[in-house]
């Protein structure tokens, strides 16, 4: 699903409010029988989840509250997301770090055991195959999560290179965690509520760190991370225990943490200035152009050794021709592919994600423009439905992040 999930959610809400259930069912639910379901599907429906197709799965775009309210509640209290459509996998073997470093830009070897980072899988031209959160569990065990919409191509890509690596004597194997579900618990109440369900001291676990621990009596993979800009966790749990854990989290929060759908997740990640693969990050976009230079480890910048390194290291030295930038704008919220012009009416780029910010009460967007025109304060025109609307480049994140980091 390309474009703004927030906009899709608003469309569904409007149609349901006007009693247009037939159109909603036809437009958004026509392929329901063909879609995969997470183990939480019935739980979503029972709690008022409005299910839509997303990356081959039937997923909740929102619940009984509006996307605006869900977004605000995540920032004020907390949200629980089902992200089990995403693909978790483990790489094991004494050469697993060496193998993965051929495919991603991160300094995996430099990570301490139990530490993780956002990274990018690159192709031979330096473009992004996918973005992923990777964790070095131990020197011979890497845990990573890839996007649902990229699962098939990512796994094929990894498998192809793994076969070649092993043929040369490399020691690496993999396991795809289809037996597990993934929950994202986000917001200021995430840690205090989760603390009620585990004996581990979560105050000593910082952003990007990983633990294997018991939660609600079940062994889980816990990562202090998320994609909302808030403090929070991603919890990988055996699927048969996912519903019970979800209920326990909601009960311990006394109603303050709410089930939250993909619509609010999209507005939250946009407010945090985070890329959505397929919109803001694609096969033809490099990490440098996307503003992810920070994710390339210092050693990797010196040594390369990953696919497309020649292109990326050249961009590091000379600068890219285009850059991702954030925007405020007037008029209707910008949409993916809206044209960006300079004040003289010359085309300088296009919007990749946009919507109305529930927290800021104004339009926000991100997109790509020619280098030099990406600096904060640059005035632009954004073309929406043939009409020109004033905009200005602004720094991201739009809403300050609240990651739990060691002081």
Binding site, annotated residues for substrate: 234
For 136-163, b/e burial (b = at least 16 CB within 10 A) is bbeeeebbbbbbbbbbeebeebbeebbe
Judge whether 292 and 301 are in contact, CB under 8 Å. Answer: no
Q: In sequence order, which residues have a C-beta less than 8 Å from that of residue 171 and are 6 or more positions away?
A: 93, 94, 95, 96
How far apart CA 377 and CA 397 sit, in angstroms, is: 15
How far apart CA 4 and CA 10 sit, in angstroms, is: 10
For 291-321, b/e burial (b = at least 16 CB within 10 A) is bbbebbbeebbeeeebbbbebbbebbeeebe
The residue assigned the tokens 């993979």 is 221
Rg (CA), the chain: 21
Q: Is 263 helix (H, G, I), strand (E, B) or coil?
A: helix
Residue positions in the annotated binding site? 234
């Amino acid at each position: 699903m390309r474009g703004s999930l927030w906009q899709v959610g608003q469309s569904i809400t409007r149609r349901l409010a006007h009693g247009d259930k037939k159109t909603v069912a036809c437009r958004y639910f026509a392929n329901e029988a063909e879609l995969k379901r997470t183990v939480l599907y019935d739980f979503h429906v029972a709690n008022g989840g409005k299910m839509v197709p997303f990356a081959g799965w039937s997923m909740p775009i929102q619940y009984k509250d509006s996307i605006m309210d869900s977004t605000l509640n995540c920032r004020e209290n907390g949200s629980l997301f089902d992200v089990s459509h995403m693909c978790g996998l483990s790489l094991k073997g004494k050469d697993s770090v060496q193998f993965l470093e051929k495919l991603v830009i991160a300094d995996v070897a430099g990570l301490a055991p139990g530490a993780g980072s956002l990274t990018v899988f690159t192709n031979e031209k330096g473009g992004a195959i996918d973005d992923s959160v990777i964790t070095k569990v131990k020197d011979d065990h890497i845990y990573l999560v890839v996007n649902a919409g990229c699962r098939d191509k990512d796994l094929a890509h990894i498998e192809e290179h793994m076969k070649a690596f092993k043929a040369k004597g490399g020691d690496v194997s993999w396991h795809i965690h289809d037996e597990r579900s993934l929950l994202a618990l986000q917001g200021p109440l995430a840690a205090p509520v989760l603390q009620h369900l585990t004996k581990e001291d979560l105050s000593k676990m910082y952003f990007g760190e990983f633990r294997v621990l018991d939660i609600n009596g079940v062994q889980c993979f816990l990562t202090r991370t998320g994609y909302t800009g808030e403090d929070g966790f991603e919890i990988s749990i055996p699927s048969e225990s996912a519903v019970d854990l979800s209920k326990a989290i909601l009960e311990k929060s006394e109603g303050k943490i709410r089930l939250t759908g993909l619509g609010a997740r999209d507005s939250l990640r946009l407010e945090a200035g985070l890329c959505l693969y397929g919109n803001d990050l694609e096969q033809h976009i490099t990490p440098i152009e996307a503003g992810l230079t920070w994710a390339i480890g210092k050693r990797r910048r010196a040594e390369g050794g990953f696919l497309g390194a020649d292109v990326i290291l050249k961009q590091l030295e000379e600068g890219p021709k285009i850059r991702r930038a954030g925007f405020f704008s007037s008029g209707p919220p910008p949409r993916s592919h809206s044209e960006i012009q300079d004040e003289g009416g010359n085309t300088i780029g296009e919007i990749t994600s946009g919507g109305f910010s529930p927290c800021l009460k104004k339009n926000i967007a991100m997109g790509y423009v020619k280098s030099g025109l990406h600096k904060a304060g640059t005035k632009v025109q954004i073309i929406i439905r043939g009409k020109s609307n004033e905009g200005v480049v602004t720094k991201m994140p739009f809403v300050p992040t609240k990651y739990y980091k060691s002081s």
